[in-house]
């Protein structure tokens, strides 16, 4: 297996995308030099930058396109409602029309701030099933089986709730805790699981995912604890570590088959950053392939069609996109025990800031998806194939961010979708317009799994535990009952839970982008990818913790290579 060769006439020109006038200006561009450059201060990148900068003799630069995370919107868990769709913190991507979802364009929220998506996510700490990682190993990714990655998860974790030490660590930087003040309905949801044959599960990261429970969260005394909080903020005083926020990568510099640097926009000007050892792309499953393609690394025919001169024909870049497609049940309720905006609830709302800042209790501690779990539909062949995220508040049936009134909702997602999409660049002068095509329901089995998942979610909500707060099902609605009707509803309303992966996958086949043993980009020296984009298959769960694990594995690979004298 080998990538197609570099195009020689493009190899040494760092300004290959510029006009003649731009080349002259580029020669006067300010240059800054480092040993390592890590792109993306998100879940994986913060781990990589932390580990590489432990050696005071090397200069490490961490780049983040977003800005500061120093905002109560980020720090206070309930502030998540003000982050999605907010261009100050979210890339606000929108996918291309989806033929199997009534040609709707699906929002793709991705974090754009220090901490990346770990600064705007729901803080749920889930690793995925053991079978997920064993499947990776079976696909040719040696060293990535469950018992290879379990010690890495344990190494990163500082578990605050005395969970089983066979599965959990206590010496790492990442704090894992219980929610401070979960809503009473979240407990109802867990108890109601027996109506659908789902037991209570106190630890989804131990022996089995199966069942319902209150999710563990990455929080510090009720405050969001992002990857940046865990791995970067404590080491920002390292003299060999440079952090450049609000710094956008334009493209990579490829010289004689090696990534030697990159052009960036920072502080209103273009700069050239050079890397004497390595560049690590940890920009996520959308932006890592985008940077590669903007630099001429990707499917050569497609790049030529949009006016980019190929530097390396690597057909897998941007392919293999996988994500968790999601359907919702939302119920109106009169009960003020649920979260909600109402006159009756004004006293609780007014008291919430004092409760939070004095004792870290009350409504502002909620991450909204406090409880959830995993179940098997009749299509499952192995581990659970659906995941629930329970919201003890009303989710708008009109798609509004905030809806007046009370209620509760269950999100149900397909854990191991068979539908595979791709990411491309459009033909625009900036080379920044990303076309995200999930191809949701392209494989009809995904649709059938989600239909069954909605039916199981309804069984949970039908349990007697919900009698005291029962209300009207607004979506799908009581008249939507047959499989065909539920499927039609999903085509009209299904979205995603924002777990894109796979677009720079590791493996040994012709579509692999990185080597599983090194995470090096095939055919280019000095360039690695370390984020969710390297996953060959989507894991069964939330992707924040697995991305950190990938960052840790990558840093160990890089440090081992440096120790052995590799570059």
Q: Which helix (H) or strand (E) holds 547?
A: helix 544-563
- Mark whether 397 is an active-site residue: no
Question: How many CB atoms sit inside 10 A of residue 301's CB?
Answer: 10
Beta bridge mates, 298: 313
Cα separation, 150 vs 140, whole angstroms: 18
Cα separation, 360 vs 139, whole angstroms: 45
- Backbone angle region of 121, left / alpha / beta, with phi > 0 → left and psi within -120 to 50 → alpha: beta
Chain centroid to CA 142: how far? 23
Residue 5 CA: distances (Å) to CA of 191, 252, 298, 523, 524: 59, 17, 12, 7, 9
Nearest alpha carbon to residue 79 among 397, 402, 348: 402
Cα separation, 93 vs 115, whole angstroms: 18
The conformation of residue 287, written as its DSSP 8-state character, comes to: H
Residue 244 CA: distances (Å) to CA of 41, 266, 281: 9, 8, 15
544-563 and 45-52 helices, crossing angle to 10°? 30
What does residue 286 show for φ and ψ, rounded to 5 degrees? -95, -50
Q: Which residue has the tokens 């979260």?
A: 339
What does residue 243 show for φ and ψ, rounded to 5 degrees? -110, 120
Tokens coding 395: 């989710």
Cα separation, 307 vs 391, whole angstroms: 46
Q: Which of 17, 406, 499, 563 is catalytic?
A: 499
Report CA dihedral (182, 184, 187, 192) to the nearest 10 degrees: -150
Residues 6+ apart with CB under 8 A from 284: 40, 42, 110, 116, 117, 500, 531, 532, 533
Residue/partner pairs of 195-204 with CB below 8 Å, 24 or more apart: 195/459, 195/460, 195/462, 195/463, 195/464, 195/465, 196/375, 196/456, 196/459, 196/460, 196/463, 198/373, 198/375, 198/460, 201/373, 201/374, 203/163, 203/164, 203/167, 204/126, 204/373, 204/374, 204/541
184-192 and 444-461 helices, crossing angle to 10°? 110
Max intra-chain CA distance, the chain:
74
Q: Which residue has the tokens 């429970």?
A: 213
Rg (CA), the chain: 23
Q: Which residues are catalytic?
A: 499
């Amino acid at each position: 297996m080998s990538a197609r060769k570099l195009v020689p006439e493009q190899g040494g020109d760092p300004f290959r995308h510029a006009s003649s006038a731009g080349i002259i200006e580029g020669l006067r561009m300010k240059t800054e030099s480092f040993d390592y450059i890590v792109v993306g201060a998100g879940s994986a990148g913060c781990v990589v930058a932390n580990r590489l900068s432990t050696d005071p003799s090397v200069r490490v630069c961490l780049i983040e396109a977003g800005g500061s995370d120093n905002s109560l919107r980020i720090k206070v868990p309930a502030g998540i409602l003000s982050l999605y769709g907010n261009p100050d913190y979210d890339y606000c991507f929108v996918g291309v029309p989806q033929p199997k979802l009534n040609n709707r364009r699906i929002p793709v929220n991705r974090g754009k701030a220090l901490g990346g998506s770990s600064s705007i996510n729901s803080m749920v700490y889930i690793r995925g099933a053991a079978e997920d990682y064993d499947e990776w190993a079976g696909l040719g990714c040696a060293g990535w089986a469950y018992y290879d990655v379990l010690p890495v998860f344990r190494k990163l974790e500082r578990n605050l709730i005395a969970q089983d030490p066979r599965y959990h660590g206590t010496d790492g930087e990442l704090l894992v805790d219980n929610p401070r003040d979960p809503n009473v309905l979240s407990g109802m949801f867990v108890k109601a699981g027996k109506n659908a044959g789902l037991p209570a599960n106190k630890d989804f990261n131990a022996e089995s995912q199966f069942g319902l429970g209150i999710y563990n969260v990455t929080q510090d005394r009720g405050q969001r604890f992002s990857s940046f909080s865990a791995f970067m903020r404590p080491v920002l005083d390292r003299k060999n570590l440079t952090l450049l926020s609000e710094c956008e990568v334009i493209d990579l510099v490829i010289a004689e088959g090696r990534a030697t640097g990159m052009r960036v926009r920072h502080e209103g000007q273009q700069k050239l950053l050079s890397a004497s050892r390595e560049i690590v792309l940890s920009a996520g499953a959308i932006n890592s392939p985008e940077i590669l393609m903007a630099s001429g690394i990707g499917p050569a025919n497609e790049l030529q069609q949009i006016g980019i001169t190929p530097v390396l024909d690597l057909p897998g870049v941007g392919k293999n996109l996988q994500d968790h497609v999601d359907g919702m049940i939302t119920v109106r309720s009169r009960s003020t025990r649920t979260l909600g905006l109402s006159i009756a609830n004004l006293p609780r709302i007014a008291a919430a800031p004092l409760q939070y800042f004095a004792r870290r209790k009350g409504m502002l501690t909620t991450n909204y998806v406090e409880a959830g779990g995993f179940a098997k539909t009749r299509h499952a062949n192995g581990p659970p194939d659906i995941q629930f995220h329970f919201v003890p508040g009303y989710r708008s049936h009109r798609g509004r961010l905030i809806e007046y009134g009370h209620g509760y909702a269950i999100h149900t997602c397909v854990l191991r979708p068979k539908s595979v999409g791709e990411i491309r660049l459009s033909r625009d002068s900036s080379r920044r317009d990303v076309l995200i095509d999930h191809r949701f329901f392209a494989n009809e089995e995904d649709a059938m799994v989600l239909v069954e998942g909605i039916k199981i979610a309804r069984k949970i909500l039908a349990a007697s535990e919900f009698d005291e707060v029962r209300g009207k099902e607004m979506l799908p609605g009581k008249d939507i009952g047959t499989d065909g009707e539920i499927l039609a509803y999903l085509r009209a309303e299904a979205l995603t839970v924002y777990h894109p992966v796979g677009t720079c996958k590791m493996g040994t086949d012709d579509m692999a982008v990185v080597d599983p043993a090194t995470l090096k980009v095939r055919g280019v020296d000095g360039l690695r990818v370390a984020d969710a984009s390297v996953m060959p298959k989507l894991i069964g769960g939330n992707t924040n913790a697995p991305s950190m694990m990938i960052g840790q594995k990558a840093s160990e690979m890089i440090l081992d290579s440096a120790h052995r004298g590799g570059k």
